[in-house]
């Protein structure tokens, strides 16, 4: 089982470099999500969480926000059958009360149609703030660390961010406590299954200690004498 989270950065810059409107970059970015979803099962990825729209993104120009919401609806409606055929469960994290009705309707339909599927769980972070999610979990009054974590999503194994940025930007702060980070200069619309495979391959070469001291290589039980 492998949980990969992706901050899909660079859509606007990709469009600008080509003399296109920013929304063209977001549209191409949606196609990149499809490519990654298709590659994920073969790489052992069971959970894929993508940062689609942060709570701070409401600060963007209204025309861009409106276009993003329409694109979200198109993606959810257009990919629902493909997700069902490929065993992909779709769900969302983040606030829902500020989403426009047409986008919320498409989201809830996709969740309903794919509920119970388990090959890959695609979580879409919408109107999402990790600080808000942590605060909400704290307000829920969990009486243990385990109880607190049940209010959040599972821990992330590998965090990918595209387009050269190297920060979390209020994304899965708790869940990324022991995640491995992988950064690339490649802008999200150009990202494909090969890039995902490279990130996962690099992840598997790393030694994850979680604060402990690893066994000497010769003492590892999984290596024949």
Q: Which residues are catalytic?
A: 9, 57
Q: Is 26 exposed, middle or buried (0-12, 13-18, 19+ CB in 10 A)?
A: buried
For 174, residues 6+ apart whose C-beta sits below 8 A from its C-beta are: 130, 133, 134, 149, 152
Residue 183: helix, strand or coil by DSSP? Answer: strand
Q: Measured between alpha carbons, how far is 39 from 160 in angstroms, rounded to an integer?
A: 15
> Each residue of 5-15: b (16+ CB within 10 Å) or e?
bbbbbbbbbbb
Q: Give the torsion sign (CA, 130, 132, 133, 134).
A: positive
Half-sphere exposure of 86 (CA within 13 A, CB side): 20
> Each residue of 108-144: b (16+ CB within 10 Å) or e?
eebbebbeebeebbbbbbbbbbbeebbeebeeeeeee
Radius of gyration of the chain (CA): 18
């Amino acid at each position: 089982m492998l949980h990969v989270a992706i901050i899909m950065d660079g859509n606007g810059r990709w469009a600008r470099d080509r003399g296109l409107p920013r929304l063209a970059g977001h549209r191409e970015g949606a196609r990149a999500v499809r490519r990654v979803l298709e590659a994920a099962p073969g790489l052992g990825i069971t959970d894929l969480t993508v940062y689609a729209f942060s709570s701070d993104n409401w600060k963007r120009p209204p025309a861009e926000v409106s276009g993003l919401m329409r694109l979200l609806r198109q993606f959810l409606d257009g990919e629902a059958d493909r997700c069902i055929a490929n065993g992909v469960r779709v769900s969302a994290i983040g606030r829902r009360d500020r989403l426009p009705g047409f986008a919320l309707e498409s989201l809830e339909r996709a969740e309903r149609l794919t509920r119970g599927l388990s090959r890959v769980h695609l979580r879409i972070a919408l109107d999402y703030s990790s600080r808000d999610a942590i605060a909400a979990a704290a307000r829920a009054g969990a009486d243990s660390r385990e109880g607190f974590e049940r209010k959040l999503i599972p821990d992330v194994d590998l965090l990918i961010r595209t387009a050269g940025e190297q920060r979390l930007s209020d994304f899965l702060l708790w869940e990324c406590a022991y995640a491995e980070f992988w950064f690339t200069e490649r802008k999200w619309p150009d990202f494909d299954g090969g890039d995902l495979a490279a990130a996962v391959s690099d992840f598997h070469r790393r030694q994850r200690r979680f604060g402990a001291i690893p066994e000497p290589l010769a003492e590892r039980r999984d290596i024949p004498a």
